[in-house]
Amino acid sequence: MNTPRKHTKRPFRRRKNARPSFLSRVLQFGAYLLVFALGGCYLKVASHGGSWPFKTEAANTVDKLGRQVGGLQRKFGGLASQGFQVLDHEKGEQLNQVNKGGQKESEGVQGDHQIEEAVIQRAGEREKKLQEEQDALGVDVSDEADNGLWEGDSPTEIGLALHASQESGDKGFKRSFQLPSRRRQKAPGLVSRVAVGSCTARTDIPQPVWEQAVIPAEPDAWIWAGDLAYLDWPDVDCRASPEHPNCDCEKDWLKSSYQSCLSGDMTHARAKLQAQLEHPDYVRFLRYMCPAWQPHGLFGPDGADPALCPRTILGTWDDHDYNWQDGNRRLPRKEAQKQLYLDALGVRRDDSRREVGRGLYAKHTLNQGVAGKEIDVFLLDGRYYRDPKPCALRRDFCEKMVLTDPKKDKYAWCHDFLHGGRNGTGSCCRKDEAFRDGWCRLESSQNDFLWASACDPTSASFGQIRTRLEWREHLDRMALVRVENESGEGGNESGEEDEEEGMMCEVLGHEQRLWLTTELRASRAPLKLVVVGSPVFNNPSQTPCKGKVPKDLTAPVTCPCFDDFDCYRPAQVALLHALASAPGCPVVITGDFHFSDLKVLRPGKSLYSEEYQSEGLEKPIYQVMASGLTVDTAKPATCQGFHRDRMGLRVPGECDFVAGPAFGVVEVDWEQELVSLQIRDGSEGEVRVETSFHLGTCLEKASLAQRT
């Protein structure tokens, strides 16, 4: 009996030296036309700078090509025999390559299957990734091309490369095709949620705040208020290992303690900054804000470039970015330090902040061109021009607690403060004593036409004219003299201003103050975020100085401020009145203190009105202090000492601060014209402290309700 032969499906194999069928030739010719058509489309995109409508055409064509190539491979395997390559665009890694010639017959089919599987696998992975990002951010990927997210001159460039090279013995072309990098970016829209923070970590520890709290908050922008990295920190516990090279140095005004031996050390600073830029937790955050960015040494992403970072990143520095704790304008090589920090922020080489002798202040507008919904961000430099502390603030501390014993940790610093400096008469700033506490109080000075510009920080003319005091023999007294040579704005070649010029001890410096005043008056943005590393208003009360008090002292020695604007009262009051008199609602963004809180400086009479001269303010000034992103910088604390607000500035109450890792959020409801200021914890991003105000009046929501 004849049993039917069992039919087994055998793979298709081309016979040796077999001529391709007519249909195979037609399909191969069609594939060639498809590739050349795509190449023409790519050139068209490039010639038009990647602008639509050609972007849409190119994106759609690239999408379809992978599917069509897969179909051709599955049906005929012809392209594989011609040497088709599939490359991973993101990693520059060749997934598979089937070379022509020297292969066994079975390798043709096997190579086809490998290519097909690689294409399908990569497409599936990329589609899954796109879907996850789409779900997370609520953007339809199908709209990507129309949203202008394919940029021919950006890192998200369409990954298509056509290589036509004649090979010996073959009239075909060798083709290389890169799968497109379809990194989804945020759809255009209003910026309504801005996250802020400062103070990462002094040592290399995990930074879970980025993934656990900041990214889930989905900020439209991030603003650094300083201390992105602790460049001057020794990386070792100097108390336990004082003999360590990072802790063992000769003390002077710059290296005033065992913890500051690396102040100004550029080699150490580069290593610390690069470590932060490569920190895996921070890299996850940067990739979220700037999906197209790739880590590149000391260069961070240009957060102001929407093509690279659809979620903006801005920032300024504070003392540890500046590479000198509590540092001022005397830092050696501060220009090189500035360039290093700007590299980390990804700031362009042609940016004005790169200019020699200029601080890194700038203005950036969010929602630019959307009338009535702009947010002007003023990035201030509180280090480059800052004078040393006024003499009166640390004179008692140095004379009574430090200079009595050369072994004291701060001895070298105090000696320089009172007896060193350029002229050997002390590096401390004397201008506040000379003007505010001296010349301005004289009855003979009251009628001087420059009195308001030199003595009244609430006046719009205060600090606008560069002056100094000189002795006049014919008057037998000190007289105010206008400095005609304005070339010193920004100072000498090191960026310092002349110590003898000016009528107050500075934080911002003459040049930056003039710039800020002009920009504030010209701004029509309803919301102004003023970013500076040091708190603008804090706790204007006497605090006992740190250190062991000698037994012979009958009264404690007080230090009336820390490393903030409270140490520079005339400059502080002038800034507060400039902010309150400008159009729009001012919010100060700051950090530095390693805990977080919200404060409001209100007009009218209060416990702080004498120090801040706040009775004449035109509107409230809000302050978000978000300091401490890790457990290294934001540690548990009780409501005592400088953690307690005794002046009625903190909202909602004197002990409402966040001691652990935290960040701030400024959120705007544009429909309701309501601004919410928040401190969120660093573990889950929960709102711990919050207040709000109306954009139309700048008044707190509760205050407005009480008035109505």
Q: Which string of DSSP letters, residue by residue, matches 631-648?
A: TTTS----S-GGGS--SS
Say whether pLDDT at 2 is over 90: no
- Say whether pLDDT at 245 is over 90: yes
For the beta carbon of residue 32, count every other beta carbon within 10 angstroms: 15
Digit-coded pLDDT (tens) for 46-76: 444 443 333 344 444 444 444 444 444 433 4
> What pLDDT sits at residue 188?
56
pLDDT given at position 33 = 65
Tell me what pLDDT residue 561 has: 93
What pLDDT score was predicted for residue 691?
Answer: 98
Res 178: pLDDT: 32
Strands 362-366 and 312-315: unpaired
Answer positive or negative: Cα dihedral of 502, 503, 505, 510: negative
Provide the CA 592 distance to its chain's centre, in angstroms.
Answer: 15
Instruction: Give the mean model confidence (pLDDT) for residues 307-317.
Output: 98
For the chain, the residue count is 708
pLDDT at 499: 58
CA angle 381, 386, 391 (to 5 degrees): 155
Q: How high is the pLDDT of residue 101? A: 39
Q: In degrees rounded to 5, what are phi and psi of residue 601?
A: -95, 110
pLDDT of amino acid 275: 96
d(CA 468, CA 503): 6
Class of domain 193-387+506-535+563-707: alpha beta
Q: Determine the 3-state secondary structure of 683 from DSSP.
A: coil
Looking at 10-19, 192-201, 274-283, which range is the least confident one?
A: 10-19
Tens digits of residue pLDDT in 109-148: 344 444 345 434 544 554 455 455 445 544 333 333 333 2
* Residue 39 scores a pLDDT above 70: no
Q: What's residue 454's pLDDT?
A: 93
What pLDDT, on the 0 to 100 scale, is given for residue 468?
84
pLDDT in the model for residue 160: 28
pLDDT at 333 over 90: yes
Q: 501: pLDDT confidence band, cut at 50, 70 and 90?
A: confident
Query: What does the pLDDT look like over 542-578, one tens digit per residue?
Result: 788 888 778 788 788 989 899 999 999 999 999 999 9
Domain borders along the chain are 22-178, 193-387+506-535+563-707, 391-488
User: Is the CB of residue 194 less than 8 Å from the CB of residue 666?
Assistant: yes
Listed in order, strand segments (DSSP E) in 318-475 are: 362-366, 375-379, 467-472
DSSP state of 447: T
Question: In terms of pLDDT, which residue wins out, 186 or 594?
Answer: 594
More confident residue, 691 or 297: 691
Q: Which tens digit of pLDDT belongs to each residue from 454-468? A: 999 999 999 988 888
User: What would you report as the CA-atom Rg of the chain, rounded to the nearest whole angstrom?
Assistant: 32
- The pTM score is 0.73
More confident site: 650 or 482: 650
Q: What is the pLDDT of residue 374?
A: 98
Which of 98-102, 323-327, 591-595 is least confident? Answer: 98-102
Instruction: Give 35's pLDDT tier (boundaries 50, 70, 90).
Output: low
For residue 422, what pLDDT is reported? 86
pLDDT at 128: 56
Q: 240 CB contacts (<8 Å, ≥6 apart)? A: none
